[in-house]
Amino acid sequence: MTERISLEGKVAAVTGAGRGLGRAYVELLAERGARVVVNDLGTDVSGFGKDSTIAEQVADLVRTRGGEAIAHDSDVATPEGGSDLIATTIGHFGRVDLLVNNAGIGLFESVEETSGEDFRAVIETNLCGVFYCCHEAIPLLKQRGGGYIINISSLAGANPHPRMAAYNASKFGLNGFREAL
């Protein structure tokens, strides 16, 4: 039987944490004892819409199960959003030990169907957002003597699909960024 890893006393910030895999990561981290910052704008998978209650619902779930969590809805696709996520984590919990970069959007469109605005939105969320969060977290992790950064990529970062040009580009870029880290 494998021993379960305890995260008691650790603090995790998770982007794209309101639904799907991001929510599952939050639930697992909290189950293992981590205090969690649940970051999500509440957009759909294409990046449209906004529902600030999505992050709060997940944070509420963690708290009803006896864990500690706060909701956060800054847009990590901007330098200010990435900075605010890490500052909020430090401000509320006093530290950051783990950063899970999961926020992502995607469009099922070919190159000629994709607008420049939509292409930029995917790159800014899926790739730049990871950079902005890492840029803020890494100095703090170094000061503490270490920590963990988990960047969620996709098979699309190795096996492109012709109708996912922007998403493929973002995930190929993320894989290269991971190697640089």
For 105, the token pair is 């959007």
Q: Is 167 among the residues known to form the active site?
A: yes
DSSP per-residue letters across 118-159: HHHHHHIIIIIHHHHHHHHHHHHHHHHT--EEEE---GGGTS
Helix axes 116-123, 165-180, angle to 10 degrees: 30
Q: Is 7 helix (H, G, I), strand (E, B) or coil?
A: coil
Helix axes 20-31, 53-64, angle to 10 degrees: 30
- Selected catalytic residue, list 25, 132, 148, 167: 167
Name the residues annotated as catalytic. Answer: 167
